Amino acid sequence: MKLIRRKTLAAASALTLGIGLAVTAGVAPAASAAGAENTFLVLAPQGAGTDRAVARVAAAEGTVVASYDQIGVLVVRSTNPAFATAVAGAGIESVAATTGLGTALDEGETVQVAAPDAPNVTADPTKEPLFGQQWDMPMIGVPQAHAINAGSPDVLVGVLDSGISSSHPDLASQIAKDKSTSCVGGVADTTEAAWNPTTSDHGTHVAGTIAAAVNGVGVTGVAPGVKVAAVKVVNDDGYIFPEAAVCGFVWAAEHGMQVTNNSYFIDPWEFNCRNDARQRPVWQAVQRAIRYSQSKGVLNIASAGNSNVDLAHKFVDAGSPNNGTPEVREINNACVDLPAESPGVLTVSAVAPTGKKSYYSSYGLGVVDVTAPGGDSRFRTGGVSPTTTDQILSTTFNTATRTNGWGWKQGTSMASPHATGVAALALSAHPGMTPGQLASFLERTAEALPCEEGVWEPRPGFPATCTGGKRNSFYGAGMVSAYNVVK
């Protein structure tokens, strides 16, 4: 059994830990004196409607701030310290307090590059001023793909992240503003300021990899012909609360998105355990939201994580929660990394410029579906020293100076949008595929990568062992291919 501590590419700030409680039907106790306001996910029985749950919330001195009737989930705020037990009864399946449950976004350091020269607009992605530093695009056949199909504006990709800069010259023409929203707090806010980045450029970087315009300004995206929608789920402290993710998946389902990118995990525990009473209601709510989005034609694509963990085997997690005092917990098949290990979600690992597994990338036979460029500034073969340019170059936004730019980041957060862009190209070339058909198509057109022999340890202290054959734990079905999905 392997002992791990979460290895992130950026430090997480500390928040007070909230406790989620599973509640069974019973007699509601008397309300206590008002305390601090807390947020709760309240779940009605699946398919039973939310009317009875709304009534119980009111009786327990709670206020419904968002109702997702489609999946029987309410987002509630209350100052009643006894709310979690007071709300229990007929019409309530479970309730979880989510205050303090936010998960710090695995931000990654942004290294800026100089602004490109004056525009020289062509239809050729290789003529973009910074394309020469985008080693990741030739790796997945983007130039060849664009000669056939660069993407259709009928395809809409949801970027569930920290927002997208609507003023960025490589993205301004790419954003479907009427489909964008902020889901921070679990409540949709469609004002442009709300879904723009405030403290993080992570979402702007991700969006550029998917769909940066071929306009002679900076970089190219995998699918510059498609549209992206900002679905902001990261708050100003850099945390992803469960209610924001629920809102994001339902929003994508209701607003015509065919693909979403999810470069994060939910809950301060990296692994959400269904057998943990504190976590099960969160798992239930998120699962409902993901299933609903799939039923509406959305393929959700997620990053595998940056802990160098074999997600298919038991181990001990001693590094979660990341916003409180860590607990030592055995991670078994009752525990999943959300949303990466949710059924029907396409999970993506990361590779370096060498085409080998990035030192940080988590993996797992039967968990990882495909792999894509994520960067690795710590390792190169042949004695060549790694550099910043071994990361992924994309669009950035300096939240301090409120200026747009371009820069490097690395992580499975950067691998996932490559696969998302390829999925968008696939839908552009072959419209009408269901989420399951699209996921299968990406796997069937991927370029198989063999396992590394023995223990793979490109950086000391990060050992990993690949298992499987043509489909294996490091790379799944293989490297996504933009060219193969459109040719």
pLDDT tens, residue by residue, 227-259: 999 999 999 988 899 999 999 999 999 999 999
Residue in the structure block whose two tokens are 């099960």: 280
pLDDT of residue 17: 20
Instruction: Give per-residue pLDDT as tens, 44-77.
Output: 998 889 999 999 999 999 999 999 999 999 999 9
Do residues 197 and 397 lie in contact, with contact meaning Cβ atoms separated by under 8 Å? yes
pLDDT of residue 121: 74
Nearest to 412 by CA among 334, 328, 282, 309: 309
Q: Which two tokens stand for residue 128?
A: 């973009």
The more confident residue out of 104 and 383 is 104
116-130, 151-165, 472-486, range with the lowest pLDDT: 116-130
User: How many Cα atoms within 13 Å fall on the side-chain side of residue 49?
Assistant: 3
Q: Sign of dihedral through CA atoms 192, 195, 201, 205?
A: negative
The mean of the pLDDT values for the chain is: 87
pLDDT of residue 153: 98
Do residues 37 and 59 lie in contact, with contact meaning Cβ atoms separated by under 8 Å? no
* Degrees to nearest 5, angle at CA 368 with 373 and 157: 60
Confidence of residue 269 (pLDDT cuts 50, 70, 90): low
Confidence of residue 129 (pLDDT cuts 50, 70, 90): very high
Instruction: Give per-residue pLDDT as tens, 321-368.
Output: 766 677 787 777 788 888 999 999 999 999 999 999 999 999 999 999
Q: Which two tokens stand for residue 376?
A: 């690795």
Confidence of residue 428 (pLDDT cuts 50, 70, 90): very high
Average the pLDDT over 108-135 and give the result: 78
Do residues 64 and 74 lie in contact, with contact meaning Cβ atoms separated by under 8 Å? yes
CA 434 to chain centre: 20
Q: Which of the listed ranges 6-15, 306-315, 423-432 does the model predict with the highest average pLDDT?
A: 423-432
DSSP state at residue 468: B
Under 8 Å CB-to-CB from 414, ≥6 apart: which residues? 108, 205, 206, 209, 263, 350, 373, 374, 375, 391, 392, 394
The more confident residue out of 272 and 233 is 233
User: What CA–CA distances, in Å, run from 106 to 9, 264, 304?
Assistant: 6, 7, 12
Average the pLDDT over 394-417 and give the result: 95
pLDDT of residue 13: 25
Residue in the structure block whose two tokens are 């998120």: 286
CA 21 to chain centre: 25
Confidence of residue 392 (pLDDT cuts 50, 70, 90): very high
pLDDT of residue 352: 95
Q: Is the pLDDT assigned to residue 30 strictly greater than 70? A: no
pLDDT of residue 313: 81
pLDDT of residue 20: 27
Confidence of residue 15 (pLDDT cuts 50, 70, 90): very low
Q: Which two tokens stand for residue 432?
A: 């009408």
Separation of first and last alpha carbons in the chain: 45
Average the pLDDT over 272-286 and give the result: 85
Q: Which two tokens stand for residue 448?
A: 């198989």
Which residues are bridge partners to 331 per DSSP?
315
Average the pLDDT over 299-322 and give the result: 86
Q: Which two tokens stand for residue 149?
A: 């199909």
Which residues are bridge partners to 317 per DSSP?
4, 329
pLDDT of residue 245: 96
pLDDT of residue 116: 62
pLDDT of residue 228: 98
pLDDT of residue 273: 82
Alpha helix ranges (H) inside 165-231? 192-195, 202-211
d(CA 140, CA 216): 21
Q: What is the DSSP string of 94-115?
A: EEEE-TT--EE------EE-PP
Which residues are bridge partners to 358 per DSSP?
none
Q: Is the pLDDT assigned to residue 194 strictly greater than 70? A: yes
For 388-457, the three-class secondary structure string (H helix, E strand, C coil) is HHHCEEEEEEECCCCEEEEEEECCHHHHHHHHHHHHHHHHHHCCCCCHHHHHHHHHHCCECCCCCCCEEC
Q: Sign of dihedral through CA atoms 421, 422, 428, 433?
A: negative
Q: Is the pLDDT assigned to residue 296 strictly greater than 50? A: yes
Q: Which of the listed ranges 30-39, 330-339, 386-395, 462-471 does the model predict with the highest average pLDDT?
A: 462-471
Q: Is the pLDDT assigned to residue 136 strictly greater than 50? A: yes
Q: Which two tokens stand for residue 183?
A: 């889901």
What φ, ψ does residue 245 adopt, rounded to 5°? -65, -40
pLDDT of residue 115: 60
160-174, 253-267, 351-365, 372-386, range with the lowest pLDDT: 372-386
pLDDT of residue 114: 64
Under 8 Å CB-to-CB from 110, ≥6 apart: which residues? 201, 205, 396, 407, 408, 409
Instruction: Give per-residue pLDDT as tens, 432-447.
Output: 999 999 999 999 999 9
Which residues are bridge partners to 479 per DSSP?
371, 447
Confidence of residue 377 (pLDDT cuts 50, 70, 90): confident
pLDDT of residue 14: 22
